[in-house]
Chain A
Amino acid sequence: MSTDGPYPPSAPEPEPGTPSWPAGGQQQPPYGGPAPYGQPGPAQPPAYQQQPGAYPAGYPAQPVYGPPAGPPPDNFLVWAILSTVLCCLPLGIVSIVYAAQVNDKWLRGDVAGATESARKAKQFAIWSAGVQAVVLVLIGIFYIGIFALALGTASTAP
């Protein structure tokens, strides 16, 4: 942390003080780690000043890069919608954030960032579905237990 003695101040050290994110930055050689809301403009090697608290409102101010050629990564938005609006667990909200990041980064030309966000969106969609299933099974067991208990008392009644 900030022992910038041996290094020239401009040396692009990977993320000294920025709030790094769980496991961010292992597959992204040029950039330290994806900032939570896709701040650093893509393809700008020296731009390392990531604003820590920056929010998506900043994106129109970024220089516009065209979307890369080829199919964009899947953002799993449908799964996020299904889990938040058509079912019951709000964990899908996180999925929507990553889905928006996928398209945001992709349309600005940040292929690596978009792929990384797509991976996270998929992960959260799966977790959301998994947690949902577990919780519903638990509630089901809870209800079946009550039902069995009621049946038991009913059958012992005369």
Chain B
Amino acid sequence: MTSAARRLAGPAAAAAVAAAVVGYVGAVDPNQAGHYPTCPFLFLTGFYCPGCGSLRAIHAMAHLDLLTAVDRNPVTVAAVPLLLWTWLRWTRRAARGRARTWAAPPWAVWSLLGVILGFWVLRNVPGLEWLAP
């Protein structure tokens, strides 16, 4: 194995795992009860967590049904381009054999925290059912 191939093993493995997960969730429908366990947080508290609906969103995205995906969990859909972008940068760094020199601006990470916390609260508020899964 050349050194470039060895460096690219990480991104390749991540892509393979992601493809396997999307393939599985796309094939085994989370809309049917009993296919997947319930979200532990929902199970224990009765409130939605920020990740509730993500399996159904992934299933919808695997079937290219973006509208349904946004209906189930808009933040999951929004996370996909972010994760793809991160993966692309990681792959490019790995291919060139460079270390990471860029750190996201702190306000962006704090905003992400705010978005997720706000989403968590708001999707449990009556009247904002479009945010609930």
Contacts and interface: CB of A to CB of B under 8 A. Distances in A.
Q: Is chain B's interface secondary structure helix, strand, loop, or mixed overall? A: helix
Contact of A87 (B54, B99, B112, B117): B54
B27 to A, nearest CB: 18
Interface string B62-94: 000000000001011001001100100000000
Interface stretch (B1-9, B102-110, B123-131): B102-110
Contact of A88 (B40, B83, B102): B40
Interface in A137-154: 139-140, 143
B100 A136 contact: no
Given A67-B103, A81-B79, A106-B103, A96 B112 contact: yes
Interface residues of B, number: 35
B52 A88 contact: yes
Interface of A: 56, 59, 67, 70-72, 74-75, 77-78, 81-90, 93, 96-97, 99-100, 102-104, 106-107, 132, 135-136, 139-140, 143
8 contacts: A72-B103, A77-B104, A84-B51, A85-B54, A86-B58, A88-B52, A93-B113, A104-B106
